[in-house]
Each structure stands twice: as structure tokens, then as C-alpha cells.
Amino acid sequence: MIVSDVIDLTGDDKDDLQRAIALSLEESNRAFRETGITDEDIAENKASLKRTHTEVWSDSPNPHDRKRQENCPVGLKNVGNTCWFSAVIQSLFNLLEFQRLVLHYSPPARMQDLPRNQKEHRNLPFMQELRHLFSLLVGSKRKYVDPSRAVEILKDAFKSSESQQDVSEFTHKLLDWLEDAFQIKAEEDREGEKPKNPMVDLFYGRFLAVGVLEGKKFENTEMFGQYPLQVNGFKDLHECLEAAMIEGEIESLHSAENSAKSGQEHWFTELPPVLTFELSRFEFNQTLGRPEKIHNKLEFPSMLYMDRYMDRNRDITRIKREEIRRLKEHLTVLQQRLERYLSYGSGPKRFPLADVLQYAMEFASSKPVCTSPLEDVDTTALPGGTTAQLTGEQPDTSVPAEGSGSGSQAQQQQRVSIHKPFTQSRVPPDLPMHPAPRHITEEELRVLEGCLHRWRSEVENDTRDLQASISRIHRTIELMYSDKSMMQVPYRLHAVLVHEGQANAGHYWAYIFDPHQQQWMKYNDISVTKSSWEELVRDSFGGYRNASAYCLMYIDDKKPFLIEEEFDKETGQMLSGLDKLPPDLKEYVEADNKLFVREMEEWDALQARKLQQEKLALAAASVAAQPMSTEPCPPDNTGEPFTCLNLWPYHLKQLVYDKCGPEAAFFKAMKVEYTRLLRFAQEDTPPERDYRLQHVIVYFIHNQAPKKIVERTLLMQFADRNLGFDERCKSIMKVARAKLELIKPDEVNMEEYEVSRVFLIQVCYVEALMYLIFAYQYNKELLAKGPYRGHDEELIAHYRRECLLKLNEHATVLFETGEETEVNAGLNIMNELVVACIPLLLVDEMEEKDMVAVEDMRNRWCSYLGQEMELAFFLQPSHTRHICGEFVILLVHAHNDHSLS
């Protein structure tokens, strides 16, 4: 077996990695060019891969890694661009009143008699799947559960099931389906009476639209669910609400005479227990022809008082709005005056007036001088008469008569004159280095200093007064609605749904408040962790990375039943876990828990068997290392194709050797070993246990190698000096060496049968990445020679991709710490490893999983920059280092600007 291009991993591994990447890129680029793929194809492929930040990762094979910790909420698995589903469902599930309604929902008894259009809507089947999902979130023993069935029913209602869904559209459809499902049940339960729909009571409110249309007044009552709010141009939630409640010219509403102007006001007449605001953070850029996300900062309170928007407070609110309008007008005037003090001047550059007066005072107080800055400067240092030009004198342009001494002398002087800038210009020692007045009397200085000092004091006092007045007005506006009469309708923040990314792609998660633990929780797909108000503010207000809230869910703080736990009517004990479920769902969850427990038991049994096999193998190896005369009979076979002579049965070895001699024993051993390996070659095994990775003979048998190749390899095995355990083995080894010498080098071509071996072991990810880069490319070349020459390409590609994703995740974790050393380490990993290896995943076969992984890494780093980095950049391997440097510079600026620490 010949191995070429061996890399030494004992020293600095950076150069080796770069060599590995370069070699792999060279081959990949050639293959890429041969495919004829164009930049347009790449752009189209990228457009088809719009996705969320979180990829659909496979479950851990160890079920104990997927076991729910005690009292920890259950997460939801992302089953393909479904983080939007997880964020909304978890927010609703943690509304305990909504949770109870879903869990105790029972389908209509006359379901078969329903109109056909109701069945086509699939709302009742979805309701059943939602019940199952909620029951698992309540009582599952799993850390996270799979929502695939409910998601698939929902996705059928959308135009496309591949792209990331619009969350607002999904939420509207979800509530519509739930409303329809409960409406059907309500009509069945209350025949002849007006049915009461709990979904409507929970999520829908009413407002009164009061306005004027072309001079005619009107009043309309309308129902609303999720209330949309514009974000652009506003600094907090109240400003958004104020703008949403007034449309058009509203002055005509308050005047007795008719007006041609049109406008309207909205006044809430009935607020729902669950008040949801949609924050419109996406707008369409007409110039670019694409949607864009608004990253502006928008603040919102944890406690929101809605009194000022209620119809019953219409008169007092109008008075306060008028007062605020007047204060804001006055505020604008004061701010303009203050700006004139802070930015003084008539030119493009402006400075604070107090500083200008201070500078003038400093100039006047400087020591007066009588010397011009241009005097006493060596004129020979300035060629071409530039001194005259600088002093304002006209140069002498007269030409001396031919042959005159002065002319000749002038020409000679001009020839020998050498320009020495900076060395021949000398400043008089008494000339100050800063500007100063030429002449100023003591009287002038005294008068000027007095005026400037007085003026500066006046300016500073005026500036302070303006700033104080502006602060008082701001404070007055803030406290305008702080009296108790306007704080009677409190709504507490229940959930914040966050989007991170750009308009066409990104990731969703939710912050949800746990009132019983008084703790904010972060629900991020399968991950459910404790959080804080500070983390929520950072990720939700906007302006930090590309993350911001797109939906706010408030609940009526005077209706505790929304979040109250349920108690047993007989015992008075709080219900938890399976006790909260109706009988059918309790049975459903118990069955799923039994399956999960069985999975853990089977895993434990499998691991125990593997451990026992390892112990037996170690024992066999230990026994085989003892002298032959005293060793006991080893096991007949371990079931693994180890290359080891001691696996030949002890009694057979001794019998044949003693009866027929070493040569007969050699031939018998050769036959036993070849038969054993042939059996392994005929077995079907999964890729990770392929016996070709265990023994080269199995590899040769699969590839139908010539008999001479197999024979020579077997002889090399028996000629190995490490198998000389005793005199019998040494004698057999000598026979093997003699037979090996009889085979001439030109009879076999071993280079034709080089072997690619892949060791999937737990090593440093940097080392593993180098192994996998070489293994993937070398294995690809072997596969080109025959179907069995190499290993399963997808397996190696999977581990190469996983390794790179692990390194990228480690780099982002370091970067997010904000510590300088950690940030630098993270950038170094991204610089030297991640970006450098991305072209391998993009170019090679254009596999969808690799493209998705690259999009995942790109979105993660672009979220720190607050800007897109086109995927096409990474498809030019010759530009990789340049792109990497540009990326690092941008990230350093992003780190400094946002102060991650």
C-alpha cells in the first residue's frame, strides 16, 4: 500500500491546511469549469435557497441528549424553514387560557355532515394536530418535539411550501382556522342561541372610526385582531400608536363648520384580553426593486397603558394631544435657537459659538509680534521666484543685455542654485509657532478681553437655559399621561417575536415571560433558555446587528386567568404535567413517552454490548501477546477483520505446525485468513462500518484486484515482524518473507491500488478539517477509477460540512463575548478556516446541503455587519483571501461600533 502527499501534523498546521485547501480547490475548479455552470445559474440557485438561519439538523443518535430536563419547557424542532412556526406557537402555548382551550377542544360530533368547504379548509384536522402538539409540550419526556404534521397541514394553505413563510400571513391564517374550528363547535353546542366563540373573545377587539369625508362626518365601528403599526420615523411604541390612531387632516373634526378636508380618528371601544401589535419592519424599495428591512431602533415598555386611546377618554385625550402639539411646536423653536448657538457660522463649517469666542480671546491674548512669517526666510530655498509670489511682490521679468556681467552672473547663479526645501527656511527664534496679532495696545486688549469674556458668559448662560427648557418640555410630554385617571387600562408584555436577518431571509425566535418564575425565557427552536430584560432589549428594540421585534403580544394585566395555572377542584392542588391533559391526550403522550424510554433502553443495551465487545477484544489482544507455550486458547473469531496472525485458532496452528512443519502451517494460515476476509467482503455494512476501511484485502476483493496484488499483500501481512510471538510464528514469518522475495517488483503495480482510509475519530476540529479536505478530494479521485475504489462520498462530505459548521459556531461564540482576545481568536478562525474553506462547499457538485450550510454561515456573519455579503463573492476562489481580509475589517468595525461586550 502506497500513500502519497503525506501531511505532517506534528508542527504548525496552518500551512498544511492552506496546502490542503489549495490542492482541493485546484481540482474542484477544474471540475467546476467543466460543468459549464454560469454566474446566472449560481444566482438562481441562491434565490431558490431562501431560508432561515437555523438549519434542519438531524437528531443526536444518543437519545439521552434529547431527554427533557426536569421542569424545563419543551422546544420545537425546526423541520425546514419553520422557526416562524415555533416562535408563534410557543407564544400562544404559554398563554395558559389559550392552552386550556386547545387541549380541551373536542371535534364536532356531526363532523361528517359538515359542508364540504369546511373540510377543504383543513382547519379541523389542524386543530387535532395542534392538540397533539400542545399535549407533547405539556407532558413529553423529550427535550424537543417534532411539529411536522401540523406544519404540513398549514403549508398546504400557502402558495409555496419551500420558501420562508410570511409570519403575519401565517398568524392571521392560524387565528382564522382556530376561529372557524371553535365556531363550528359553538354552533353545535348552542343550537338556537347566538354562539360564543372563545377565539374571538380572546384575540379580537373593536374600535370606533370617527372622521370627516369630503365635509361629511361619519362614525363606524370595526373589529380588529392583530393591530398593524408603522415603525419608520418613530422612536417608541406610543408614537407609533398615536400615528395609527389619526389619519389625514383631523382639524375639521373639532370645528363646527363643515370643511372639504378629510380625516379620521380611531378610538378603541373594546380591547381584547390578548392585544397583538404587528410592527411593519419591511418596506419595498422602488429604486432597487426589492423589499428591505427597517433596522431603526424602536422602544416599547414592559407595561403599556392604553387609556389615552379609549373612546371613553376621547375628550381628555384630545386636550392632552393639543397640549402636546403646542409643546412640540415650542420645542421645535427652542431646538432651532439652540442649534444656532451650537453650530455657529455662515460657511459650510460650523462651531459652537462659545468656542468661537474662546478662540478669539486666545488669539487676542497671544504675544504680539512685529515680524512677518515670511521675513528672514532664505529666498534661495524657493525656486522660480516663489518668495516674491508669497510676499505679493511682482517678479522682475526684465531680461539683461547680452554679454552683461550681471546677466552672466545671474545665469551662473541660477545654474548652481540648489533647492533644499525645509532646510534653508529658518524661523526667527522669537517668532511664535501659533498665530498672534501684529500690533495691539494694552487698552485694546483690555476692552476686547472684557467684551469677549462677557459675550462668552452670556452665550453659555443662554445655551444652558435653552437646554434646561428643552429638557423640561420633554419631561412634561413624557408625564402627560402619568396621572392615575389615565393608567386604568394596563397591559403587560407577554411575548416578543424577533426576526434576525434581511427582508428575504433570516431567523425567528421568541422571548416569553414566565410570570410564576418572574423570568424571561428565550424560545429558539429546540433551545429553551433563561434570558433577561436586558437581552430582550438588545435583540428586540433594533439597531443591534440585524435583529428586531416584528410582533408584540400584550395581555390584560387585570385578567389573571390568562396566565393562571389550573387547580384540581377536589384536592385544590395545582395541576401539572400529564394531570393537565384530558384522557385521550394523556394516553397519546404516555404512548410517546414509552417509545422514547424504549429508545433510551435500546441505546443503553447497544452501548453495553459494544463495551463488552471492546473488553473481549482487549482481553484477546492481551492474551495473544503472551508466549505461545503458555497462552490459553484465544477466541475463534472476534467478528472484526483485524490483521493479526494470532486470530488463527491456537489448536489448529499447533497441530499443523507440529505435524507438517512451518511451510504447511504457513499455507494453512494463509487459507484461513483469506477465507475470513472473503466472508467480510461479502457482507453488507453501513458506510461508517465498511470493512474496506478495516482491511486492505477487503478493499482489493471489492475491486477485483489481480491475484498477485492480493497474494503480495497477504504475504506482507504474515511477514510483519510484529507477529513474531513465539518460535512457531517466527518460523511462519520467515516462510512468508521467502515467498515475498520471489515476487518481482515488475509483476505487480501497487500504485494502481492505492487506498483511501478515513478515520472518523474525535480529534481537534482543525486537524479533522485537514484530514477531511484531503480525504474528500483523494476519495473522489479513487471513485473516478471504479465504484468500489473509494468510500461513500456523501458520508465524507457530511463530516467535512459538520466540522466546518462546528468551527464557525465556535468562532461566532468567541466573537459575541466582546472580549478583545476572544474576538480576535474568533476572527482568526473565521479568517484562516471558515472563509478559506467555503469555496470547497460551494464549488464541489453544488450540493444543496453544502449551499444551505454556507448560507447559514454567511447569514450569521452578515448579521454582525448589518449588511449583506453576496454569496457570489465566495464562488471566486482566487479572491478568497481578499474577501476574507475585507470581511475581517468589517467585523472589527462592527465589533467596535456595537460594543459587543
The pLDDT averaged over each successive group of 10 residues in the chain (901 residues) is 38 52 52 43 40 52 90 87 84 94 82 55 82 94 91 70 54 82 75 76 93 83 91 92 80 53 88 94 74 86 95 93 94 94 88 91 81 54 46 46 47 46 49 76 90 93 95 93 93 94 81 94 93 94 86 94 84 84 93 94 89 70 44 39 46 64 80 80 68 70 76 79 70 81 70 46 62 73 71 74 84 80 81 76 65 78 61 42 49 49 33
- Cell digits for 802? 459538520
User: How far apart are alpha carbons 194 and 872 in whole angstroms?
Assistant: 60
Closest alpha carbon to 272 in 304, 224, 237 = 224
User: How far apart are alpha carbons 276 and 274 in whole angstroms?
Assistant: 6
Q: Do 503 and 290 form a contact (C-beta atoms < 8 A)? A: yes
Closest alpha carbon to 546 in 500, 607, 491, 605 = 500
Q: Do 185 and 196 form a contact (C-beta atoms < 8 A)? A: no
User: How far apart are alpha carbons 325 and 883 in whole angstroms?
Assistant: 51
Nearby residues of 465 by Cβ (< 8 Å), 6 or more positions away:
none
Nearby residues of 409 by Cβ (< 8 Å), 6 or more positions away:
none
Distances (CA, A) of 137 to 58, 67, 328, 478: 20, 13, 50, 42
Among residues 238, 266, 494, 507, which one is catalytic?
A: 507
Distances (CA, A) of 165 to 91, 162, 279, 549, 855: 17, 9, 16, 17, 18
338 exposure class (CB count in 10 Å sphere: 0-12, 13-18, 19+): middle
Closest alpha carbon to 2 in 701, 785, 751, 705 = 751
Q: What are residue 156's phi and psi, to 5 degrees?
A: -65, -25
- The question of whether 83 is a catalytic residue gets the answer yes
- The question of whether 439 is a catalytic residue gets the answer no
- Cell digits for 672? 484461513
User: How far apart are alpha carbons 786 and 552 in whole angstroms?
Assistant: 59
User: How far apart are alpha carbons 745 and 302 in whole angstroms?
Assistant: 82
Three-state SS for 218-264 is: EEEEEEECEEEEECCCCCEHHHHHHHHHEEECCHHHHCCCCCCCCEE
Q: Do 310 and 268 form a contact (C-beta atoms < 8 A)? A: yes
pLDDT at 628: 37
**184: alpha, beta or left? (left if phi > 0; alpha if psi -120 to 50):** alpha
- The question of whether 419 is a catalytic residue gets the answer no
pLDDT tens, 702-741?
777 777 778 888 888 777 766 666 777 778 788 888 887 7
- Cell digits for 896? 467596535
User: How far apart are alpha carbons 224 and 217 in whole angstroms?
Assistant: 22
Closest alpha carbon to 551 in 167, 206, 176 = 167
User: How far apart are alpha carbons 37 and 34 in whole angstroms?
Assistant: 8
Q: What are residue 636's phi and psi, to 5 degrees?
A: -65, -45
Q: What are residue 884's phi and psi, to 5 degrees?
A: -60, -45
User: How far apart are alpha carbons 142 and 268 in whole angstroms?
Assistant: 44
User: How far apart are alpha carbons 841 and 21 in whole angstroms?
Assistant: 11
User: How far apart are alpha carbons 417 and 381 in whole angstroms?
Assistant: 9
CA terminus-to-terminus distance, the chain:
54
Among residues 266, 494, 499, 791, which one is catalytic?
A: 499
- Cell digits for 302? 414592559
| CA count, 13 A, side-chain hemisphere, 273 | 16
In 377-521, alpha helices (H): 386-391, 405-416, 442-478
pLDDT at 439: 85
Among residues 83, 803, 837, 862, which one is catalytic?
A: 83
pLDDT at 806: 84
User: How far apart are alpha carbons 863 and 866 in whole angstroms?
Assistant: 5
pLDDT at 752: 55
Q: What are the extents of the domains in the chain?
A: 311-369+434-488, 582-622, 647-760, 801-900
Q: What is the pTM for the complete model shown?
A: 0.58
Strand 226-230 and strand 274-280: the pairing is parallel
- Cell digits for 335? 431646538
- Which amino acid does the sequence have at 803? C
